[in-house]
Structure 1
């Protein structure tokens, strides 16, 4: 008994030592559940950062919207209440104009095209734009392609969308995209989607395979159409208030840790996407894989005309489209 108690005492002391080794622990937010690729990506960033700083700087990830939905956590990060935040690009569309380019329907031709843009000078340019809004853009994470799913019927053509009600991210661009397809957009927090589909408040939503799976939405919306209208990257940001307190060496360590975590998140994302697709198909979800996207793309013309209005944004879109 004494030996067990002594062992427990040493184990407890070791935990205290490990906890106190970090001079600074950054609070990080994510709406997704534990184990989700973006959550694990930031955890990997934390491990890399600890290694780079000899354990001085650590990251504690608060997953599952423990610190609030994305809109709320963005504001908290701007105020310095939250240090690091993993957020979809969508909610930034009304805050930072340049982010709208990455949220345009069909702006990316493929995953390879998206990576070429994000990993190049255009990606750096957009990250730099966050600094004017009390945030530091650190890195981009994958989030796959978003497609429509619903509880009513399989969507095989654009006409099938007429009059249907879909949840969208709280962004004017997303609202206009759905409206251009003839459907009704309903902005609402992610956490309310399941019950809203279940009770008929909305017919469905749009998201990628892992989100469709991890949220359980496939249980109440059993029709999934691979129209892949959006490939919106995730972004990892740090509060500028937190950033400004760091030494140049620690700023570099944070930046490098974020960038090095990207490859890990992308690998996890690809595996998660495959696993989620297999799971929901096995659960009896009807998947529409073959669809003519041409009418969908043509319907986006007024969306581009409305949202790509400034000369700066037009130039950015043109450079994205010209990227090989």
Structure 2
């Protein structure tokens, strides 16, 4: 019952933030990636309307979009914005059907379906760490490096350069049969626990639920804890029964899944930034006419701006609600010991990518 109540409150809270997201979008103050802008840069409103009319005459295409989170989550709201803009800009010739709440399984399951050519899922939003162990993926892994970004602005400044283009294109270029359309984010990921925690020394020996990607496993091991494999839909129970001592998620997902009920201590180490990409299969992309492809790319740019414009507001609102519910947030004044502890996995992930790392560091200054 408590978890159901938390979900209801989350739905109400997310709905109240829709207007705030819209205001952030129109303010024009947020730096966003160029993924959906390059093909429409310099166009007048009349030209854009003409493109929409041109796409409207094209054969109708319906694309399925998988999202593991709920429709009322930040990622669900971003998906809805993308859907609305695709259908508007294509004049209705491209329809997006969103399947939220993990209908097609976890992110790894969806990616396996898309890369194997199953045809069930045309599009999805994934955390970039889900691509970590696919053959050929290299530059994309930079977004998973522990403690690489010093804030949201640093992330967006990075992906709006050609580094972002390299990441979006990498899946297609290495032959995975998918391609990136645009970036989104969920905020920094933090560790949370059943019992009180005050610093890095308290992680030693703790059983922490981890995704299967090697970077997250290496991060947890570097911090002296023991990674444990638990399905995401079983995590609440695993925390409640003590199968694991803690886990890690962005604040918004921690709140929307009611993990605060069973693990009310969160340390704000921000070990990984919740960088996300929206992907489309090559086969689905090839179904679209040039005008429809342009509509999809432009819609991606708008959805990316929407996400960038409201993610901080959503996180702040979630955090305030969590404090009211009794969650203890622990600030980290000095991240250097955390970075030092993760030096091994950082070195492994960034091997051969020194030029990229130098540029990313410069963008954060």
**Alpha-carbon contact 1:170-1:188 (below 8 Å) kept:** no
1:314 maps to 2:354 = yes
- What's the counterpart of residue 190 of structure 1? 232
Give the secondary-structure state (helix, strand or coil) at the position aligned to 2:186: coil
Q: What's the CA shift for 1:123?
A: 0.5
- What's the counterpart of residue 283 of structure 1? 325
Which residues in structure 2 correspond to 1:236-251 (within 5 Å)? 236-251=278-293
Q: What's the CA shift for 1:322?
A: 2.3
1:208 maps to 2:250 = yes
1:52 maps to 2:89 = yes
**Alpha-carbon contact 1:226-1:291 (below 8 Å) kept:** no
Structure 1, unmatched stretches of 5+, are: 1-20
CA offsets per residue over residues 197-239 of structure 1, 9 Å max, x none? Answer: 1111111111111100001111100111111111131110001
Q: Distance in 2 between matches of 1:135 and 1:291?
A: 40
- What's the counterpart of residue 299 of structure 2? 257
1:125 maps to 2:166 = yes
- What's the counterpart of residue 93 of structure 1? 132
Name which of 71, 91, 110 aligns with 2:108: 71
- What's the counterpart of residue 27 of structure 1? 64
- What's the counterpart of residue 179 of structure 2? 136
Q: Distance in 2 between matches of 1:81 and 1:316?
A: 35
Q: What's the CA shift for 1:240?
A: 1.0
- How high is the TM-score relative to the length of structure 1? 0.89
Name which of 188, 200, 225 aligns with 2:267: 225
- What's the counterpart of residue 145 of structure 2? 104
Q: Distance in 2 between matches of 1:117 and 1:235?
A: 14
**Alpha-carbon contact 2:65-2:124 (below 8 Å) kept:** yes
**Alpha-carbon contact 1:175-1:187 (below 8 Å) kept:** no
**Alpha-carbon contact 1:43-1:59 (below 8 Å) kept:** no
Give the secondary-structure state (helix, strand or coil) at the position aligned to 2:120: coil
- What's the counterpart of residue 323 of structure 1? 363
Structure 2, unmatched stretches of 5+, are: 1-57
Q: Distance in 2 between matches of 1:286 and 1:28?
A: 36
CA offsets per residue over residues 143-183 of structure 1, 9 Å max, x none? Answer: 101111010222x2211100001112220010000100000
Give the secondary-structure state (helix, strand or coil) at the position aligned to 1:68: coil
- What's the counterpart of residue 18 of structure 1? none
Q: Distance in 1 between matches of 2:73 and 2:309?
A: 12
Q: What's the CA shift for 1:77?
A: 2.1
- What's the counterpart of residue 82 of structure 1? 121
Q: What's the CA shift for 1:307?
A: 2.2
